[in-house]
Structure 1
């Protein structure tokens, strides 16, 4: 499996966090708790938005889809990572490895597009409040979300077609907890420069283009906020954007760090920590970021609690 160039690799070994043997149990408990919290919080937010008619607006439609993406995203990587803590041989087949990358890459690219769509939604709400309902029609919202899913799928499919053309002859040890593209490029015996260029182009198209849309939207938003005369009005307008800005900064900051630097730098191990952040931590933080500063979600939670209390005390 790890021999000379005449061998063909059919399985990879995921190192994961085996270089911290004394912290194995602690890390497992932390990641398991984080995963369960992520699943519960995102599913609860989806259900809350679904059952509460006050939250049937474009903003919360996008937010429910963001929670769905985060739920699928963390589920595509974390269970495999958790199982590796107690496996002597942390192997994954080449097909399983490429499919794992295809799934979480599709979800990640779709989230880039969705965050850009959410920025446009905030622009329409703050800069054109009288036309907001007409601009952000239900059909447009559905088209934007479906477009984000399809675009993410196509972007990942292009990379998958390039990955399956690579030849792997050894070694087969991936110094990571997931099958990510930078690690596969390092292990390949094929010429990887075209795929590295493709990786950079995809990162530019989805990452920088989405960031550009977000920056332009918020440029107009901040200009509009500064024109608001009352302090209370400016504060209310800014609070509607603060959660989204926080989520954007965390997601794009960690993601661009991993996918925009050369693959040869991965030996430093910095990207493993960054990957933990955007594959495990951010999906858990997003529902909290959007809930803790959001009065409408807090009110919806209170109404839900009252209904549950009334139901169980009938």
Structure 2
């Protein structure tokens, strides 16, 4: 007999449960798509194993259904609660790890997050992604190369971030587009733009995922970061962030497990009288600068 927290399970009961698992797994055996068949049969085995291991009660099953229903209701074209759930469970990071195996010195990938949007504005090299978002100006620059150090011209770089109040543009009700843009590397593989110095912020906590974190005593706060998505012909598309060195939240813990040591960068604070690289007039405000050289892995290493 198998012993669990609720007591021993009789051989007869185990047989009943095993018979059901076998029947459900077999129901997918005629699936023509081999990959779909594998996914459904493996999912069935793991779900049933979880139910049997914890001896899931009917009340807990109903609570889970209500949780998923609430996540569906709060999801819309600007908010993806299921991505948020995937993030806080570490599923997003595990999927990234599986699909972005380490390759030589290529830049590490991290979570996509729920706030990416299509059709961001294009800016020229040295342009400003803020578009009115409030925060400390930050000069971001670097090169995009392959793992041999060859610089990649024309790589598309998509960037997005929150404002100094911790909100992304899509979290505002006025339809603004701010704190996001895309640009392309020059003929030498270089890129540069103005953004905002990242700040920590809580993931949306007014929905079911926020309630889940509260009930288990976990912080909803993300470490300060700036999102990147980088694409070039023949290269694996990279989705990543850079994080602010010295941010206490890195030590406390990022709510979606996205921090990697290689992605922590020095955002060097500059005095108001320090001349920016492009001579921009910052109106006497302090600013920051960071260098992030991006190394792309080949599509089929």
TM-score, scaled relative to structure 2: 0.24
Q: Which has the larger radius of gyration?
A: 2
TM-score, scaled relative to structure 1: 0.24
Higher strand proportion (structure 1 or 2): 2
Higher helix proportion (structure 1 or 2): 1
The answer to which structure, 1 or 2, has the higher relative contact order (CA under 8 A, 6+ apart) is 1
